[in-house]
Amino acid sequence: MGLYNYSALNAENAVVEGVLEENDETAVARRLMLQGLRPLEIRQRSPAKMTLPLARFRSQKISTADINFFTKQIALLLNAGLPLDGALRVMKQQATKPAFKEFTGTIERDLKEGKSFSQALAKHPKHFSSMYVNMARAGEEGGILPAMLVRTSEYQSTFQDLKQFIISASIYPVILIFVGTVALTILVTLILPKFEVLFEGVGKQLPLHVRMLMETAKLISSHFFLTILLLAIPPIALISYLRTSKGRRVADRLLIRTPLLANFIRDMETTKIFRTLEVLVNNGVHLATALKISSGVASNSEYQHLLHQATQALKEGQRVGKRIKAEGLLPDLAVDLLSIGEESGRVGQVCGQIADHFENELRVRIKRLIALVEPVFIVFIAIFIGYVVFSMLSVILSISDIAV
């Protein structure tokens, strides 16, 4: 059994809080309902943790987790019978993070000024995407806002899980690359220069490749920070160029033509686009609007342009599947299934099946790509260190021959 903090509504719609000891959240909710309370939030109590200054600084910003929490809690409060402004007021009262309290207060004020919920959300494009706003608008117009928010929360959770999977799978390769880079830096800046003293008294001229290696190590160790600065300039210049619209377009074109990355990008964009189409179309958003919103979800500008073309084709009375197949960016399977969905009137359901299939494909590709990165980098380090060791040993052995 564990301790659970809860907040609930009593018969007078007043918020009450407390702590209960039960086996799980379901048991806590059942016990509260037996007491005539309607559960709003149930959280397992965790041991107090020391808060670092950096963590306190970060806690003042609205994070993705805060937006997910906001979505779930608004849906929960609305389902409990509270009006929208009352739900926002309860969330503001319960908020412990100042930034989140101010954030919910701003949306509540917009509602009091006569704006709709979707209009209030649209004023915060940093936190709410056009997809989120359109889902909220569809929920308001159809009178099913709580259900729409629940589906939006599920949509966000799907992409959050995929993002966490990519991050978790990348941790080991990143650590490997970092440790290998540190090892090579120590070898070049600290170890190799010590051999210079040994080789100074040799009457025989060192081989060209050894001289070049020693001079490079000497230069780096003597001007270490200058070397770091010179090495940093090209990446910084490249990043600055990629931030421009022209640079981004060039990079996006190259990425979709790079052998190892093209399939990875294709599956990722396909998953994002069709998952968004599934949620929007299944919840009453017109396909043309859904395509326009999905273009904002796509990361690659080539796919964004493709969706803009598909939107225009749909407005002109053409089939979407036929239009996007001509570009060859999306997989043939996805395009063919979309065409079948258009003919059968089941676009939303088919888009969900496409997204599920290519999400699984994406996870497999990520595992394979990371499995490839590890041995390639290990082999690179082994070749470089082996070359250095062989060069040094060959010179040392030649010195021994001269001495004999």
Angle at 362 between CA 360 and CA 367, to 5 degrees: 100
Question: Do the beta carbons of residue 131 and residue 276 sit within 8 Å?
Answer: yes
Residue of 8, 44, 2 lying closest to 23 (CA atoms): 2
| CATH code assigned to 178-404 | 1.20.81.30
Q: What is the pLDDT of residues 169-197, one digit of tens each?
A: 788 888 888 888 888 888 877 877 777 76
Q: What is the pLDDT of residues 328-367, one digit of tens each?
A: 888 889 999 988 988 888 888 999 899 899 989 888 888 8
What is the rounded average pLDDT of the residues 36-54?
A: 62
Is this prediction's pTM over 0.75? Answer: no
Half-sphere exposure of 184 (CA within 13 A, CB side): 16
Question: Taken in order 313, 319, 325, 331, is the CA torsion positive or negative?
Answer: positive
pLDDT of residue 203: 56
Domain ranges of the chain: 1-46, 178-404
Question: Taken in order 23, 27, 32, 36, is the CA torsion positive or negative?
Answer: negative
Q: Which residues of 291-325 are buried (b: 16+ CB within 10 A; e: fewer)?
A: bbbbbebbebbbbbbbbebbbebbeeeeebbebbb
Question: Do the beta carbons of residue 356 and residue 271 sit within 8 Å?
Answer: no
Angle at 236 between CA 233 and CA 241, to 5 degrees: 125
Mean pLDDT computed over every residue of the chain: 81
